[in-house]
A and B are shown apart, each in its own frame.
Chain A
Amino acid sequence: MGRKRKGIEVSLAIADAVGQANADVIAAYPITPQTHIVEHLSELVANGELDAEFVPVESEHSAMSVCCGSSAVGARTFTSTSSQGLALMSEIFFIASSMRLPMVMALANRSLSGPLSIWNDHTDTMMVRDAGWIHVFVENGQDAYDHMFWAFRVGEDPNVLLPVAVNFDGFILTHVIEPIEYEEDETIKRYLPEFRLKNALHPDRPVSMGCFAMPEIYTEAQMAREDGVTNAYPTIIKAWEEWGNITGRQYHPIETYRADDADYCIVTMGSYGETAMEVVDTLREEGEKVGVVKIRLWRPFPFDEFQGAVLGKKALIVIDRAISFGGPGGPVASELRSALYKKEGAPVIVNYIAGLAGRDVSRNDFRNIILEGKAKAESGDTEGFILYGLRG
């Protein structure tokens, strides 16, 4: 026995991971590009390979409602969605975190309507940025597989009790076939303890969940929620460390590539980090002092690690894949500007918005963005944002 390396579609590997994590309840509605995940899970349940309830709900609103109910009785709960599905879930999405109900969502990032598009960007996840969930962005198929176990472990930890969204790029990751190293079921059992919810619903011990709050108590409830998300941090780090010790695959809230001596860094989230690293290798050969900073943990935001990685650099070239209409540009760049405000040695930020609705961002585009961004930073042209590749 040992680890098995499989050539498999990333969506199927995610579903297999949910099976290996021994989920109790899966409630999801199929939506492109997430469909293969729930299809495969329904097969696993139907074939008797996974002892779970698969609830074929009539909408995403119901999917998230079922997930809240199943988590409330202490069942390990999984769902998956994208774009319009997430929008339809959004009412209950906020409630899951306010009630501190652990569950894992594989969020296959896709653009929001309109215009209608099925392709990838980050407009869906940015809609729920402030919903009180833990958000992590993965870069490749192995990363996605690994983070299913990590997400259950973190969210169900008695010190955390929060829902966790694992964000991965629609199509770019969901539909790609990669070699993925599967861990043994025994390894997963050691890493992922049984879910025990202290206040789980039970007839012997009645409690009321999701109560109405008067103005006298709403503020306190929100502070408790804020504290819950922020203080999930040490558990998040510990869960990564232990996963690294077991598998040899190390993950960090902020990851860098050739950034230590770099003057200019491109900042990415999700699968773009892979292309950025390749392009940085080429530019390094040409003598450019450039590096990559990848944001893996989005909520809670790792302020100290981010500042530690970038203070002293000349400029950051930040790629956003969403736009805040009439606002400061992309949500990532505006957050990073705020994270660096009045910090000594803070780099300037040049904000590109690229890859909307799956428009291809090739190696050559990354190269253009880095070199043009560098030139803009040098000339002080750092206001606002640039919609990369825009005609007109």
Chain B
Amino acid sequence: MAKPMEQIKWQELEPGAIVTEVGNAREYHTGSWRSARPVVNSDGCIRCGVCWLFCPDAAIIRAADGHFEADLTYCKGCGICARECPTGCITMVAEEEE
């Protein structure tokens, strides 16, 4: 984003608050919502991509070796990947309270 949201003045908004910068939803780090994180046991991962397909937030990324893992900057911890994984290699682990 050209400027962090909390610094934008009202006069700087486009009419109708339309967003002209493509893809700036990336700046919104929804990972802070999470109370549990998916932990992938990569030995059990058959690289089928079901977690990647089901993730409602496109927060599953493919690692260099081909297996899948959560992008914790965006993962909200909904647990759908763990539920859908056909081999059961994804476990939801509670985030520790700070």
Contact = CB atoms under 8 A, between A and B. Distances in A.
Interface stretch (B18-26, B49-57, B63-71, B77-85): B18-26
25 contacts: A99-B16, A161-B15, A161-B16, A198-B15, A199-B15, A199-B16, A206-B22, A207-B14, A207-B18, A207-B19, A207-B20, A208-B19, A209-B16, A209-B18, A209-B19, A214-B5, A216-B6, A217-B6, A221-B10, A221-B13, A224-B10, A224-B11, A224-B15, A227-B10, A228-B15
Given A224-B10, A227-B10, A101 B16 contact: yes
Most buried by B among A221, A224, A227: A224
A230 to B, nearest CB: 13
Nearest to B9: A220
A224 B13 contact: yes
A116 interface: no
A101 B16 CA distance: 8
A228 B19 CA distance: 18
Contact of B20 (A101, A199, A224, A227): A199
A207 B13 CA distance: 13
Given A216-B6, A220-B9, A199 B14 contact: yes
Contacts of B9: 220
B14 A216 contact: no
B2 interface: no
Interface residues of B, number: 16
B5 A224 contact: no
Interface of A: 98-101, 161, 198-199, 206-209, 211, 213-214, 216-217, 219-221, 223-224, 227-228
Contacts of A199: 14-16, 18, 20
Contact of A221 (B6, B17, B22, B28): B17
B15 to A, nearest CB: 4
Contacts of A206: 22
A216 B16 contact: no
Contacts of B28: 214
Contact of B5 (A198, A208, A217): A217
A206 B20 CA distance: 7
B96 to A, nearest CB: 26
A211 B19 contact: yes
A217 B17 CA distance: 9
A327 to B, nearest CB: 30
Contacts of B10: 219-221, 223-224, 227
A309 B11 CA distance: 33
A219 B20 CA distance: 19
Contacts of A100: 15-16
Given A207-B18, A217-B5, A217-B8, 8 more contacts: A100-B15, A199-B15, A207-B20, A213-B17, A217-B13, A220-B8, A223-B10, A224-B17
A75 to B, nearest CB: 16
B5 A99 contact: no
Q: Which 6 A-B pairs have the closest CB atoms?
A: A100-B16, A220-B10, A223-B10, A208-B19, A99-B16, A216-B6
Contacts of B14: 199, 207
Contact of A99 (B8, B18, B22): B18
Contact of B16 (A98, A220, A223, A227): A98
Nearest to B11: A224
Contacts of A221: 10, 13, 17
